């Protein structure tokens, strides 16, 4: 993995492919490369490191061909290096391929191919596919691709150039996203829409188990068995500006500031005009099915898992259904207790997270009803789940998720109220209280974003901190977990979150003089106990930054500094109170000179297990 771009037409191939790769830099990568077919020969140029390194190599290269493929790689098999970068070729130089995903049986295939005389140049699983194509090829690349698809196991989005087919690009996908952009006498291939949005808004979204034969004047789609498929054209409604920084220094800061709009968009049309009920017309779950639900499993990874922890609290409170929040990478490998009436809720910003998709597919195979919460309409999760709640956050480019997280929370609150009302566990007055609070969040979020100067100052003061701790109780603890994750993933400061009541069970041993502690104290029912915990860390010399609601002047007596946040219903406070923690992480990363939008070792969407 991570980014794929392909082009066939009359434009400058180098500009189109490299420009498309640049639009995909947000996905995280460690090397890049490009292959073109020129004068009957394949030309492959690649480089470890940032895209600029590849561009430096291309300065003296004409690349005059009319078709090409490119790739930005995030290492899975083999260290980052020129040899391990994509595209990969076979021994004869007849084929060049780029690949997202993991070939799970590559070692077995490699041994077979080496025994047949193939020589490998890299450590990657991808190169196996190039040699396998060469081994199987009999002059018909279409049938060869079908045969290769039968031999390789795992997840893949494959795009192939062949010297013998100078007017065609072949593409296929299984469990890894791939789209085809449709133009006039030109066509495009990409792993994500921003790569080609400059040139077209009309795309085919390849479904799992499909392939495409792409020429400049036509695109034919098939199943992996070779059966023709008629595809609907999906029209992209957001423009290229939405994928640019819009004047902000980084995508992450832009996306933090976009949260009021993202929250508003995700709420729009989903609450009745009198704010008395949730409106989810696309939900196919019948009222009888909802009343029969005996348990909910929320399955997610990373930030989405943290959103699930908040969802657990509100779903249990409003709908009175037991909820388990499961880490997707662990879920399939234990015998979870499920019944025919268990609802599965999978959460994934991209809708392509490999572990989450695997859990989704297993649960569907067992006949369970799966509801996906995702930010991408045409994603695998959106297409494969029984029901979908789309979070209308718009494109999220920064690796560190911000607006996707807050809109995931919105979706979970709407779901909780909807289930609670149908199950008669939530009265009309109770539902209205929650929905009124949700409806006010866009305006309040605008006020919270204004805490940026304060969070920037704290970040500068803590720029040399080695450790930082976040504490909270109840919903505040779930928010603390997300705050700690944001800080460590982009600032590289070691950060941990703890349930404040657990301090005496070992955590206090980590508190030393001057260590920063961020204490969330936004839940009135737990406020006094939280203050007691704050005093425990203060007694050990910690510098404590407290977050609480406007008007609660009492907290200033127990902490070193306070951030006052707009007053809202305690249940929905997590949606607002995560924003200052996002800002703290952002400014800490900036102060330390880090690459905020592309933190080391991380990718935007983890599309391999």
Which residues are designated catalytic? 2, 604
Of 154, 143, 109, the residue nearest 128 (C-alpha): 109
Query: Could you give the strand order of the β-sheet that contains 369-374, starting from the edge strand earlier in sequence?
Result: 323-327, 295-300, 342-348, 369-374, 387-390
Do the beta carbons of residue 125 and residue 106 sit within 8 Å? yes
Q: For residue 473, is the peptide bond before it cis, meaning its omega torsion is within 30 degrees of 0?
A: no
Q: For residue 87, is the peptide bond before it cis, meaning its omega torsion is within 30 degrees of 0?
A: yes
The pair of three-digit structure tokens given for residue 286, joined into one six-digit string: 């019948």
The pair of three-digit structure tokens given for residue 483, joined into one six-digit string: 């705050």
Do the beta carbons of residue 470 and residue 484 sit within 8 Å? yes
The pair of three-digit structure tokens given for residue 367, joined into one six-digit string: 């006949």
Of 350, 326, 351, 355, the residue nearest 608 (C-alpha): 355
Do the beta carbons of residue 304 and residue 348 sit within 8 Å? yes
| Owner of token pair 């005059």 | 64
d(CA 554, CA 559): 10
- Strand-pairing partners, residue 303, are none
Do the beta carbons of residue 125 and residue 76 sit within 8 Å? yes
Three-state secondary structure call for residue 595: coil
| Owner of token pair 């045969």 | 147
Query: HEC states along 273-321?
Result: CCCCCECCCCCCCCHHHHHHCCEEEEEECHHHHHHHHHHHHHHHHHHCC
| Owner of token pair 């100078």 | 166
Neighbours of 268 (CB within 10 A): 10
The pair of three-digit structure tokens given for residue 346, joined into one six-digit string: 């999978």
Do the beta carbons of residue 190 and residue 196 sit within 8 Å? yes
């Amino acid at each position: 993995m991570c980014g794929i771009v392909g082009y066939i037409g009359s434009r400058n191939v180098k500009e189109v492919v490299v420009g498309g790769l640049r639009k995909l830099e947000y996905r995280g990568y460690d090397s890049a490369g490009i292959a073109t077919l020129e004068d009957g020969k394949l030309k492959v140029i690649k480089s470890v490191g940032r895209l600029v390194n590849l561009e430096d190599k291309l300065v003296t290269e004409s690349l005059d061909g009319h078709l090409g493929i490119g790739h930005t790689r995030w290492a899975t098999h083999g260290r980052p290096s020129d040899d391990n970068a994509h595209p990969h070729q076979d021994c004869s130089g007849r084929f060049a391929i780029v690949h997202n995903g993991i070939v799970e049986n590559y070692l077995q295939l490699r041994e077979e191919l080496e025994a047949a005389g193939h020589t490998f140049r890299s450590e990657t699983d991808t190169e196996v596919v190039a040699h396998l194509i060469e081994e199987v090829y009999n002059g018909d690349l279409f049938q060869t691709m079908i045969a290769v698809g039968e031999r390789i196991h795992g997840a893949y989005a494959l795009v192939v150039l062949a010297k013998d087919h100078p007017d065609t690009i072949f593409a296929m996908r299984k469990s890894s996203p791939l789209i085809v952009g449709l133009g006039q006498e030109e066509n495009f291939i990409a792993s994500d829409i921003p790569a080609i949005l400059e040139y077209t808004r009309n795309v085919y979204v390849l479904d799992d188990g499909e392939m495409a034969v792409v020429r400049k004047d036509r695109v034919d789609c098939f199943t992996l068995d070779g059966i023709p498929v008629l595809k609907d054209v999906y029209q992209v409604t957001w423009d290229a500006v939405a994928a640019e920084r819009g004047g902000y220094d980084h995508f992450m800061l832009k996306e933090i500031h976009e949260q009021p709009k993202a929250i508003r968009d995700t709420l729009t049309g989903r609450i009745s005009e009198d704010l008395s009920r949730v409106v989810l017309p696309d939900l196919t779950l019948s009222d009888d099915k909802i009343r029969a639900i005996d348990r909910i499993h929320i399955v997610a990874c990373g930030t989405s898992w943290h959103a699930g922890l908040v969802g657990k609290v509100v779903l249990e409170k409003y709908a009175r259904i037991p909820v388990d929040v499961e880490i997707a990478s662990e879920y399939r490998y234990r015998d979870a207790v499920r019944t025919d009436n268990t609802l599965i809720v999978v959460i994934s910003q991209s809708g392509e997270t490999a572990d989450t998709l695997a859990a989704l597919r297993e649960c569907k195979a067992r006949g369970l009803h799966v509801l996906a919460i995702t930010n991408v309409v045409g994603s695998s999760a959106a297409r494969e789940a029984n029901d979908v709640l789309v979070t209308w956050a718009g494109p999220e480019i920064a690796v560190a998720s911000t607006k996707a997280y807050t809109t995931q929370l919105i979706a979970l609150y709407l779901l909780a109220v909807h289930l609670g009302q149908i199950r008669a566990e939530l009265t009309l007055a109770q539902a209205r209280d929650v929905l009124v609070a949700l409806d006010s969040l866009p305006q309040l979020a605008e006020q919270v974003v204004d805490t940026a100067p304060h969070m920037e100052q704290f970040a500068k003061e803590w720029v040399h901190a080695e450790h930082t701790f976040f504490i909270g109780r109840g919903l505040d603890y779930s928010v603390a977990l997300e705050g700690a994750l944001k800080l460590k993933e982009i600032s590289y400061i070691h950060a941990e979150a703890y349930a404040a009541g657990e301090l005496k069970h070992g955590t206090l041993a980590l508190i030393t003089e001057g260590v920063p502690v961020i204490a969330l104290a936004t839940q009135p029912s737990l406020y006094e106990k939280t203050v007691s915990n704050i005093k425990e860390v203060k007694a050990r010399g910690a510098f404590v930054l407290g977050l609480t609601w406007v008007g609660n002047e009492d907290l200033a007596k127990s902490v070193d500094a306070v951030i006052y946040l707009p007053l809202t219903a305690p249940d929905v406070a997590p949606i607002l109170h995560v924003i200052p923690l996002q800002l703290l992480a952002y400014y800490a990363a900036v102060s330390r000179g880090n690459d905020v939008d592309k933190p080391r070792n991380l990718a935007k969407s983890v599309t391999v297990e």
